[in-house]
Amino acid sequence: DAGVIQSPRHEVTEMGQEVTLRCKPISGHDYLFWYRQTMMRGLELLIYFNNNVPIDDSGMPEDRFSAKMPNASFSTLKIQPSEPRDSAVYFCASSLSVGTVGGYTFGSGTRLTVV
């Protein structure tokens, strides 16, 4: 398996623009997670899905953020409109379980810069 695949690897956009981050989880993993990493706040959980259904979105910062998982092999995280404070590395991860055995497999991340 190629692992968790994220695209793009880097994104530079202007404030106010829409940004879409994409993720392909490992086949057979029922759980998909979106995390955001910054120096100040570390790794923060934004949202996670189980079998394509959003389970916990309490970490989504505000209504400008939305996430979808239309099928088992694809998820998107959208920011509209983007702001400079959204600059961070966004990670997608997938796993067989939510918090126990097996661990999470992370993608290589998308580094987002909003200018």
- The partner residues of 52 in beta bridges, in order of sequence, read none
| Beta strand pairing call for 105-106 and 74-79 | unpaired
Cα–Cα distance, 55 to 82 (Å, whole number): 24
Interface with other proteins by CB under 8 A: which residues? 4, 33, 35, 41-45, 48, 55-56, 58-59, 91, 93, 98-100, 103-109
Minimal distance, residue 87 CB to other proteins, in Å: 17
| 89 within 8 A of 112, measured Cβ to Cβ | yes
Nearer to other proteins, 81 or 96 (CB): 96
Minimal distance, residue 106 CB to other proteins, in Å: 3
Closest by CA to 61, choosing from 50, 76, 77, is 77
Nearer to other proteins, 93 or 112 (CB): 93
Nearer to other proteins, 80 or 97 (CB): 97
